[in-house]
């Protein structure tokens, strides 16, 4: 079962105190609400190792074109309801993954092509664009690396040792989410290890996080299929 832990570090960066799902100050202000009409917004990500470029369709209409592996489309407005979504091989009518999804008014959403290309599926998540408290940022972690099992995630100051400390997010299963974590704006390093170990499989290096940002970090990759582990960081608040 996934669990969250608090971390504080005694370096020059602000302490990462009580790192847990947080609520932002101020109300949500979606930039894609279509002036109050019945619209939400969606983006598409190709996280399927060895997959070709993908086109994303809703209700039979193309919304994003040629999304290559480890890339995301921009958010695009879409009318509310329960559209049928499809990923097709770019430039063809070959559907490789499909799902029914739900779009709520003024909601932001992400549809991800997941699993190896030979057994591609989808992961649909709701994105929270609410602003964090003043001086803070928010980060969500999504585990979409089919080559990794359950993992532990460490968020620390750059270069800090993870020996002897508890993971920030423990036991995060494949296709799982940490939920949004709130912390002071600073520069952090994210390291992902097989659960119960300190063996780093994915290392983000230093990542500068600015006040007011709301981010999603995706763990990607499947070395057994020749696709190395990596991380993709996206802005959820635009």
* Residues 146-169 pLDDT 10s: 999 999 999 999 999 999 999 999
Residue positions counted in the chain: 238
Provide the residue ranges of all domains of the chain, joining segments of one domain with +: 3-27+129-235, 34-127
The two beta strands, 136-143 and 121-127, are unpaired
**Strands 214-222 vs 136-143: parallel, antiparallel or unpaired:** parallel
Taking the C-alpha atoms of residue 13 and residue 189, their distance in angstroms, rounded to an integer, is 12
Q: What is the pLDDT of residue 19?
A: 32
Kindly indicate whether the domain formed by 3-27+129-235 is annotated with CATH number 1.10.3470.
no
pLDDT over threshold 90, residue 211: yes
Q: Are 236 and 129 in contact (CB under 8 A)?
A: yes
Digit-coded pLDDT (tens) for 5-33: 322 222 222 333 223 333 333 333 444 54
What is the average pLDDT across 52-60?
97
Domain 34-127: CATH architecture, name and number where available: Sandwich (2.60)
Q: What percentage of the chain has pLDDT greater than the value 70? A: 85
CA–CA dist 197, 18 (Å, integer): 23
Neighbours of 207 (CB within 10 A): 17
Closest CA to 140 of 203, 205, 221, 232: 232
Residue 139 and residue 136: Cα distance in Å, rounded? Answer: 10
% of the chain beyond a pLDDT of 90: 82
Q: What are the Cα distances from residue 115, in Å, to 8, 121, 144, 237? A: 35, 6, 8, 27
CB-based contact 67:56 (threshold 8 Å): yes
């Amino acid at each position: 079962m996934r669990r969250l832990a608090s971390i504080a570090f005694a370096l020059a960066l602000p302490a990462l105190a009580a790192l847990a799902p947080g609520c932002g100050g101020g109300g949500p202000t979606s930039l894609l609400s279509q002036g109050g009409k019945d619209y939400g917004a969606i983006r598409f990500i190709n996280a399927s190792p060895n997959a070709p470029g993908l086109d994303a369709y809703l209700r039979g209409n193309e919304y994003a074109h040629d999304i290559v592996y480890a890339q995301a489309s921009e958010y695009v407005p879409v009318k509310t309801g329960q559209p049928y979504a499809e990923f097709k091989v770019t430039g063809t009518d070959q559907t490789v993954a499909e799902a029914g999804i739900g779009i709520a008014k003024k909601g932001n959403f992400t549809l991800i092509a997941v699993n190896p290309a030979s057994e591609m599926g989808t992961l649909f998540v709701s994105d929270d664009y609410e602003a964090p408290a003043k001086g803070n940022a928010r980060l969500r972690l999504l585990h979409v690396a089919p080559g990794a099992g359950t993992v532990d995630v460490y968020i620390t100051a750059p270069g800090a040792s993870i020996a002897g400390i508890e993971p920030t997010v423990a036991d995060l299963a494949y296709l799982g989410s940490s939920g949004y974590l709130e912390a002071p704006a600073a520069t952090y390093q994210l390291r992902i290890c097989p659960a119960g170990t300190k063996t780093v499989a994915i290392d983000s290096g230093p990542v500068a996080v600015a006040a007011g940002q709301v981010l999603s970090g995706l763990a990607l990759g499947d070395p057994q299929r020749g696709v190395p582990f990596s991380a993709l960081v996206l802005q959820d608040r635009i």
